[in-house]
Amino acid sequence: MKTLGIFRHAKSDWHDARLRDFDRPLNKRGRKGAALMGLHIRDQAVGWKRVLASPAVRVTQTIELAGESAGEMPPITWDRRIYLASSATLLDLLREQTGDPGSIMLVGHNPGLEDLIFDLVPDDGRSPMRDLVEEKFPTAAYAVVELDIDSWDALSEGSGRLVHLTRPRDLDPELGPHPLD
């Protein structure tokens, strides 16, 4: 059994049209959401052994704020392939992990993260939270998937069960959808 955490970056700032997508920082709501989700992730006490993350600015800031809030952060591997990656790319990245850690957290972007959940978690009724992901896997959402595998190189579609899903609005209604989102 392996455990995969999936953490989407917090809400980013779109006000400076000159910035490349990769360079967009978090906005005020995103900073608040990242810090709140950091506390929540810590309180789940999974004990992440490895973090794989996109080096995009909004991801690095999300991780920094979540880690400061939680007071802890496991080792991070920054991998540019995660930036706007497809589910297939994320699956390949996870399969190539060495040292066989029991738990890995992936921090990145949609639609890849959401599609990864759909690819790993079958729509068979064993994971009722999957329906919430179908509605939307919003910014700063955090999911945990238990995988019925013994090693990461054995990761395959349909091998997971979604056991946890928290969106920022679940912890603070002010962080929920706004009319302009």
Distance CA 157, CA 63 (A): 27
Question: What does pTM read for this prediction?
Answer: 0.93
Cα angle 16, 37, 79; round to 5: 65
Q: Looking at the 3D structure of the chain, how many domains does it have?
A: 1
Query: Taking Cα atoms as reference points, which of 1, 21, 4 lies closest to residue 13?
Result: 21
How does strand 103-108 pair with strand 50-53? parallel
In a domain, 117, yes or no: no
- Does residue 121 sit within a domain? no
Cα–Cα distance for residue pair 159/165, rounded to 1 Å: 17
Instruction: Let me know if residue 15 belongs to a domain.
Output: no
Residue 79 lies in a domain: yes
Q: What is the pLDDT of residue 180?
A: 52
Give the DSSP H/E element, type plus range, for residue 118.
helix 112-120
pLDDT of residue 102: 95
Between 176 and 13, name the one with better pLDDT: 13
| Amino acid found at 141 | A
Show the domain range for 79.
Answer: 2-9+21-107+137-173
- Counting beta carbons within 10 angstroms of the beta carbon of residue 6, is it exposed (0 to 12), middle (13 to 18) or buried (19 or more)? buried
Quote the tokens at residue 172.
Answer: 């603070």
Contacts of 157 (CB under 8 A, 6+ apart): 91, 119, 120
Is residue 154 in a domain? yes
- 50 lies in a domain? yes
> pLDDT tier at 178 (50, 70, 90 boundaries)?
low
The answer to the question of residue 180 being in a domain is no
Q: Assess whether pLDDT exceeds 80 at residue 181.
A: no
Q: How far apart are CA 97 and CA 80, in angstroms?
A: 15
**Per-residue pLDDT tens digits for 50-95:** 999 999 999 999 999 999 999 887 889 999 999 999 999 999 999 9
Structure tokens at 152: 């990461």
Instruction: Confirm if 70 and 35 have CB atoms less than 8 A apart.
Output: no
Question: 91-142 pLDDT, tens per residue?
Answer: 999 999 999 899 999 999 999 999 999 999 999 888 888 888 988 899 999 9
- pLDDT at residue number 179: 55
Residue 115 lies in a domain: no
The CATH number of whichever domain residue 88 belongs to comes to 3.40.50.1240
Can you point out the beta strands (E) in the chain? 2-8, 50-53, 76-78, 103-108, 142-147, 160-166
